[in-house]
Amino acid sequence: DGGITQSPKYLFRKEGQNVTLSCEQNLNHDAMYWYRQDPGQGLRLIYYSQIVNDFQKGDIAEGYSVSREKKESFPLTVTSAQKNPTAFYLCASSIVGTGGSYNEQFFGPGTRLTVL
């Protein structure tokens, strides 16, 4: 059963603590992405990676960190430096193809993070 899994589904964190969100895919996709979703703001890109051991900052990378040690895994750490971390976090993946075709992004079910 191919797809993207995110864990946990719900996560609670105290202020000042770092927390890591898991994202795993078995679609054999090279590219992976992390988005943050807030009501009325759509999805905003945090980080993305096109290949193992390489990743790039998205539009709102401050206060977040990632690693890409394996093709199938792209964990996101929300650090204590993120001022407003309560949000719904979505992981996605896609192939990395040649130009001339849209490489559809497939999304996981998301993790809802709440800072207490």
Partner 1 sequence: QQQVKQSPQSLIVQKGGISIINCAYENTAFDYFPWYQQFPGKGPALLIAIRPDVSEKKEGRFTISFNKSAKQFSLHIMDSQPGDSATYFCAATSGYRGTSYGKLTFGQGTILTVHP
Phi, psi of 8 (to 5 degrees): -80, 175
- 41 near partner 1, judged by CB under 8 A: yes
Nearer to partner 1, 31 or 52 (CB): 31
Per CB under 8 A, the list member of 48, 55, 64, 74 interacting with partner 1 is 48
Distance, CA of 100 to CA of 91 (rounded, Å): 24
Distance, CA of 89 to CA of 44 (rounded, Å): 10
End-to-end CA distance of the chain: 35
Per CB under 8 A, the list member of 31, 52, 60, 61 interacting with partner 1 is 31
Per CB under 8 A, the list member of 8, 28, 70, 97 interacting with partner 1 is 97
- 50 near partner 1, judged by CB under 8 A: yes
Residue 20 one-letter amino acid:
T
From the CB of 30, what's the least distance to partner 1, in Å? Answer: 9
CB 25, CB 4: distance < 8 Å:
yes
Residues within the interface to partner 1 (CB under 8 A): 4, 31, 40-45, 48, 50, 58, 90, 92, 94, 96-110
